[in-house]
Amino acid sequence: MNHRTTMTVKGQVTVPKDVRDALGLKPGEQVEFDWNAAGEAVIRKAVVDPERERTAIRQRIEAVSDRFAHLRSGRATDDIMRDIRGDDPYPP
């Protein structure tokens, strides 16, 4: 089975339908790229590790939470907005 496709300027390629079917790939699923002993690229359906996925999601949530920690200070929203915008609520 030999297929050829064209890479976009963003580095994206379309995986041919019969290859997707053979790998059991569905939209949104991840694939892995690897190299064999001959130096050829190999594509396969990614094996999802549920614990790794939970850890990654937890880390993203913590990063967002840390980014917005200042909003949990117990201050009124109007006070926070005044600090951001200044005293004039309707600047020119």
- Of 1-10, 35-44, 69-78, where does mean pLDDT reach its minimum? 69-78
More confident residue, 87 or 33: 33
Query: Chain-wide mean pLDDT for the chain?
Result: 87
Asked whether 23 and 44 are in contact (CB, 8 A), the reply is yes
pTM of the model: 0.48
Q: Which residue has the tokens 């951001």?
A: 84
For residues 80 and 24, what is the distance between their CA atoms, to the nearest angstrom?
50
Q: What's the rounded mean pLDDT across residues 61-87?
A: 83
pLDDT digit string, tens, across residues 37-51: 999 999 999 888 889
